[in-house]
Structure 1
Amino acid sequence: MLRLIAATLCLRCQRVRALPANLRSCATLSSAENRHTVEALYNLSVDIQKIRKLKGWVLHQSPVYVREVADLLKDMGASGAIVARILALHPEAILCSPDQVRAQRELWMSVCRNQTELVGIIEKFPASFFTSSSHHVNQRDNIAYFQSLHLNKRIITKLMASAPQSFSRPVGQNEVMVCTLQQAYLELGGEEANMRIWLQKLLSQNPFVLLKPPEVLRQNLLFLRDKGFTTAELLRLLSKLRGFVTELNPDSMRHTLAYAQDTMGCSEAELRGIVLECPALLYYSETILAERFQGLLGSGIRMAQIIETPTVLELTTQIVNYRIQRLRAHGYDIRTGSLKPLSGTKKDFEMSYGKLQLRRERPLFNPVAPLKADD
């Protein structure tokens, strides 16, 4: 009896030794998981625990193509570490057959400069690359359509990567939205010679604009026209807001503009000028605007200064306070000076801050220059 127990234990030990070291160090496999899938992923150093936590259902599927997908990615130039990151982030990739992956590679290479660029896109947007084969025809047709518009290949790849839904749907839906945008641009006085560049910038700023109903754009432009904006001003707004004008709606804009006008105590004409200077004002809710007005006024800034430089409203209260402290350290009193050094992007602020720093450190006279002698 003791010999039988010892023999059984010995066989169990042999089975444990037969398992790969990386599997022995991991938690016990779920009975429903595909053992071959888990082994193949471990051999590629993929974070299995991350997959189990977020997309564990993938480990239960069959058939899978772990090795085949990994080899195709490596053929494109992806390192082992990049392959592991891609599969951990988007494990659904292993459900794509080699033929699907090759077809996608061929499709994407029609707009990518080289395979290195494609690997970079897959690493950031794996779900956009590993799509269903049923979308392939729509993807191909949409690529051909955007190429017919003479859009830059970089813009097309950005659209495919960041807004893949727009390429998975029938090309006719994109044609309708693009025609609506072009028509609005021309009706507002845009020049046809500049339309391609304008459209590229718009799609680059907001790739999701293609997924919005064309009626939304028309409704928003009609609302703004009713608020007194001229045709030229509407074109300026459309260009500044890029595709984000489709994120708005008349009701939210009506409440925002009414609150802003009441708080700043300005006329409708002055309000339009403020919006043209700071189009982002249209996005903010009353709650956000109230917080930002309160933060600015609490820092000693006057309402007249805000009206003069409304772009300061684009900054959160935390950023405003941080920048005020840095400017104050170099002797700039934001309460009496212009708000221009305070507003703008991080790059804009650093440039303004650097100029103030140089101005403070620059000597009033050159101590090594010879003094002028009286004649």
Structure 2
Amino acid sequence: MLRSLTVSLCQRAQPLICLTSRYCSSIPAENKLTVNALYNLSVDVSKIRKLKAWVLHHHPAYVMETAALLRDLGASRPVVARVLELHPEAILCRPEHLEAQKELWMSVCASQRDLVGIIEKFPASFFTSPCHLDSQRANVIFFQSLGLNKRIVAKLMASAPQSFSRSVKQNQEMIKTLQKTYLELGGNETSLKVWLQKLLSQNPYMLMKPPEALQNNLMFLQDRGFTSIELLQLLSKLKGFVTEVQPESMGLSLGYSQKILGCTETELRQIVLKCPALLYYSVPILADRFEGLLSAGISLQQIMGTPTVMELTTQIVQYRIQKLRTHGYDIRTGSLDVLSGTKKDFEISFGKLYPRRERPLFNPVAPLRTDE
């Protein structure tokens, strides 16, 4: 018979509960105190049994203490229940650790209300292991020393908690690489902090990448003829794509796009500057989107003029073209600017082309209501 594996959580060995008789002859009984406490908080225990049943078998558990901390922060009863359903491991964290977490998070949150909002969306970021607390504190101090505002630091902690759980030295290396690269490409000290804030807020997971990934990708783009100014422009597109892709995949995507468009290297670089998505979309995705546009009667020349249309999925393109067509707009001869952009951008452009008529205050055709 296989021995039960263990994982650590909140400085305690956490047994993985065997849920089938294949490896275990019996299943440990649920902690009745835990189950009853969760029921009293209106938590849907069936959800926990389905996804994380092992939590219900653990001794000790701190259900009421965890709920009390959330209520003290201002969380409503439904929010408390929702958090415990989504992340039941929270009840295994010792109260003293949760108090330490509360103190740490309040150093970067503007209010307790903001913290409750973060916990509701990212419970795993708040209910972490105590062994990460020192690293979290060190990283908070480091990012604040960069001049980043509290909102940005809180967003980083919430959306990329792994970057705060690891050594601060690793984050320092990546930040130094970003700063050095920005300045070497022609950026100035005055705008460095704002640029860094935007970059990290758009892609916090950039911190988890090795600095070499950024350097290798920039070297690849330099070899393709991009100037320092153009590289800085790409780096400032705020999506952090320069660490999410690899030279090999970029080479394939660029080669495919150039072949389809039949453009020169110089023309291709200008298209990429308008639509960096061409760098990180895979060849199958590019093929599907080119085919969708061309089958709708859109020309390659139109795509080259408004390459941002490539950021839209084929389904979205088809929907927007159909909506425009029903109002007599021929996308084959018109501008693609009305087609591209976010949903909001499209609705604004559509509204300018076809403004809604205001409803008259009085309709002379409508029958008058009279008292019988």
Q: TM-score range by the shorter chain?
A: 0.7 to 0.9
Secondary structure of the corresponding residue to residue 338 of structure 2: coil
Compare the two structures and name the one with the higher helix fraction: 1
Q: 1:142 aligns with which of 122, 125, 139?
A: 139
Deviations 1:173-205 (A, max 9, x none): 100000000000000000110000000000000
Residue 248 (structure 1) aligns with = 245
Residue 56 (structure 1) aligns with = 53
Q: 2:179 aligns with which of 178, 182, 186?
A: 182
Residue 212 (structure 1) aligns with = 209
The structural deviation recorded for 1:327 is 1.1
In 1: Cα distance, 2:216 partner to 2:299 partner: 35
Deviations 1:245-271 (A, max 9, x none): 100100000000000000110000000
Deviations 1:150-184 (A, max 9, x none): 10110000000000001011111100000000000
The structural deviation recorded for 1:212 is 0.2
Deviations 1:318-360 (A, max 9, x none): 10010011111222110111111001111111110000112x9
Amino acid at match of 1:111: V
In 2: Cα distance, 1:291 partner to 1:87 partner: 42
Residue 89 (structure 1) aligns with = 86
Alignment gaps of 5+ in structure 1: 1-29, 363-375
In 2: Cα distance, 1:257 partner to 1:248 partner: 13
Residue 365 (structure 2) aligns with = none
Residue 348 (structure 2) aligns with = 351
Matched, 1:198 2:185: no
Residue 259 (structure 1) aligns with = 256
Matches within 5 A, 1:102-181: 102-181=99-178
The structural deviation recorded for 1:361 is 6.1
The structural deviation recorded for 1:225 is 0.4
Amino acid at match of 2:349: S
In 2: Cα distance, 1:344 partner to 1:281 partner: 15
Residue 335 (structure 1) aligns with = 332
Structure 1 length-normalised TM: 0.87
Q: 2:73 aligns with which of 62, 71, 76?
A: 76
The structural deviation recorded for 1:281 is 0.9
The structural deviation recorded for 1:31 is 5.1
In 1: Cα distance, 2:144 partner to 2:333 partner: 53
Secondary structure of the corresponding residue to residue 341 of structure 2: coil
Secondary structure of the corresponding residue to residue 302 of structure 2: helix
In 1: Cα distance, 2:167 partner to 2:300 partner: 50
Amino acid at match of 2:282: S
In 1: Cα distance, 2:74 partner to 2:295 partner: 55
Tell me if structure 1 keeps the 8 A contact 2:294–2:300. Answer: yes
Q: 1:311 aligns with which of 308, 311, 318?
A: 308
Matched, 1:268 2:241: no
Tell me if structure 2 keeps the 8 A contact 1:264–1:303. Answer: yes
Secondary structure of the corresponding residue to residue 334 of structure 1: coil
In 2: Cα distance, 1:122 partner to 1:361 partner: 45
Amino acid at match of 1:286: V
Secondary structure of the corresponding residue to residue 55 of structure 2: helix
Deviations 1:222-279 (A, max 9, x none): 0000000000000000001442210010000000000000011000000000000000
Amino acid at match of 2:86: L
Tell me if structure 1 keeps the 8 A contact 2:241–2:280. Answer: no
The number of residue pairs the alignment matches comes to 332
Q: Percent identity?
A: 67
Larger radius of gyration: 1
**RMSD, aligned α-carbons:** 1.2
Quickly say closer, same or farther: Cα 1:242–1:318, change in 2 above 3 A: closer
Deviations 1:285-324 (A, max 9, x none): 1111111111111111111111111111111111001001
